[in-house]
């Protein structure tokens, strides 16, 4: 660090951040939990984690049109505002931010500047949902700019989303920490998700099968199985045989989401499939 006529000159990001932090002395750490509402225990767990790390917690509820494809469920997406407000107030959230679409996208969706994380956004879920992660990165970046949190919390259930956001924060040198929080599950293992509300009784019975299958894969990998491409084909068929229309089953490096190399010790098994029109996703991390 250099001092020139009272002006501090720094050349590395870490020093800049340290200075910035000193200037903030006396201010409170702010944690942020962005959501699309219809809150379940998975969201509430994010809020509880946020409260452990910061003195002020901001939660947003915004059903983001930019991350839904033309044939997806934007209009049908469950909205339970009153219930959500009550749950958040009970947890002691400091601010609930509920912006309007026209305020967020004031120049219209067509004109909107966007943030795109290349590579990571096009694979796995991104291959099935073109433009989805561009919509997620754009809204999360905008919300970060609005809330200016010191840290933000996301569920590991949306594992790829978490990696996209971490990459965006790194690539754009954003000054906050991203925390991933383990998936909250129903008693039968089904990952909690707002979209579970769409399932009928029969589909709800089938739904935990995805988690059971990827858990089996994890056990096999832990026991030494390494023929990943055969495994993927096999488990895709098994997903179909229990009643899903498979989207994908995949095994990736947990850090890069690329095909695992022999050196990769931390893997993630990801799966997605349809029950009727409802898309269920899940993942499990495996250390080998």
* Residue 135 C-beta: closest distance to ligand PAF, Å: 8
262 known member of a binding site: no
What are the structure tokens assigned to 94, written together?
A: 């400091």
The reply, when asked if residue 38 is annotated as ligand binding, is yes
What are the tokens at 98?
A: 């509920």
Of 280, 135, 284, nearest to 217 (Cα)? Answer: 284
283 labeled binding residue: no
- Closest contact distance (angstroms) between CB of 233 and ligand PAF is 30
Q: Are 33 and 58 in contact (CB under 8 A)?
A: yes
Q: Based on CB atoms, which residue is closest to ligand PAF, 16 or 174? A: 174
Q: How far is the CB of 116 from ligand PAF (least distance, A)?
A: 15
Q: Return d(Cα 122, Cα 62) in angstroms, integer.
A: 24
Q: Which is nearer to ligand PAF, 155 or 260 (CB)?
A: 155
Residue 181 Cβ, how far from ligand PAF at the closest point, in Å?
12
Q: What angle do CA 189, 190, 193 make, to 5 degrees?
A: 140
Residue 2 marked as a ligand binder: no
| Number of other CB atoms surrounding residue 150 within 10 Å | 19
Which CB, 136 or 147, lies closer to ligand PAF? Answer: 136
Nearer Cβ to ligand PAF (140/191): 140
Residues 20, 22, 27, 32, CA torsion sign: positive
Residues 6+ apart with CB under 8 A from 69: 129, 130, 131, 132
196 is in an annotated binding site: no
Residue 43 among the catalytic residues: yes
Residue from 43, 53, 132, 262 carrying the catalytic annotation: 43
Beta-bridge mates of residue 280 = 273
Give me the phi and psi of 269, to 5 degrees please.
-100, 125
Contacting residues toward ligand PAF, per CB under 6 A: 34-36, 64, 67, 136, 139-140, 158, 161
Q: Which residues are annotated as a binding site for ATP?
A: 36-43, 155-158, 192-195
Q: Which sequence positions are flagged as catalytic?
A: 43
Q: Which residues are annotated as a binding site?
A: 36-43, 67, 155-158, 161, 192-195
Q: Which residues are annotated as a binding site for (R)-pantoate?
A: 67, 161
């Amino acid at each position: 660090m250099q001092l020139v006529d009272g002006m501090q000159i720094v050349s590395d990001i870490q020093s800049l951040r340290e200075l910035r932090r000193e200037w903030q002395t006396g201010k409170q750490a702010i944690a942020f939990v962005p959501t699309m509402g219809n809150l379940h225990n998975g969201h509430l767990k994010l809020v509880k984690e946020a409260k452990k790390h910061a003195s002020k917690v901001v939660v947003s509820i915004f059903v983001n049109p930019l991350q839904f494809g033309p044939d997806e469920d934007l209009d049908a997406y469950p909205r339970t505002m009153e219930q959500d407000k009550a749950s958040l107030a009970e947890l002691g959230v400091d601010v609930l931010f509920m912006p309007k679409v026209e305020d967020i996208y004031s120049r219209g969706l067509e004109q909107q500047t966007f943030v795109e994380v290349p590579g990571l956004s096009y694979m796995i879920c991104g291959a099935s949902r073109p433009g989805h992660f561009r919509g997620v990165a754009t809204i999360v970046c905008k919300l970060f700019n609005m809330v200016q949190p010191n840290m933000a919390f996301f569920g590991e259930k949306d594992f790829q989303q978490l990696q996209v956001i971490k990459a965006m924060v790194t690539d754009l040198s954003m000054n906050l920490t991203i925390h991933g929080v383990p998936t909250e599950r129903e008693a039968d293992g089904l990952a909690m998700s707002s979209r579970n509300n769409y399932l009928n009784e029969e589909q709800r019975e089938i739904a935990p099968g995805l988690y059971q299958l990827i858990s089996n894969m994890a056990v096999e990998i832990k026991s030494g199985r390494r023929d990943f491409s055969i495994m993927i084909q096999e488990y895709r068929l098994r997903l179909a045989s229990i009643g899903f229309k498979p989207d994908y089953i995949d095994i990736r490096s947990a850090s890069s989401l690329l095909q695992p190399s022999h050196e990769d010790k931390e893997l993630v098994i990801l799966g997605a499939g349809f029950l009727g029109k409802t898309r269920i996703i899940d993942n499990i991390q495996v250390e080998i």
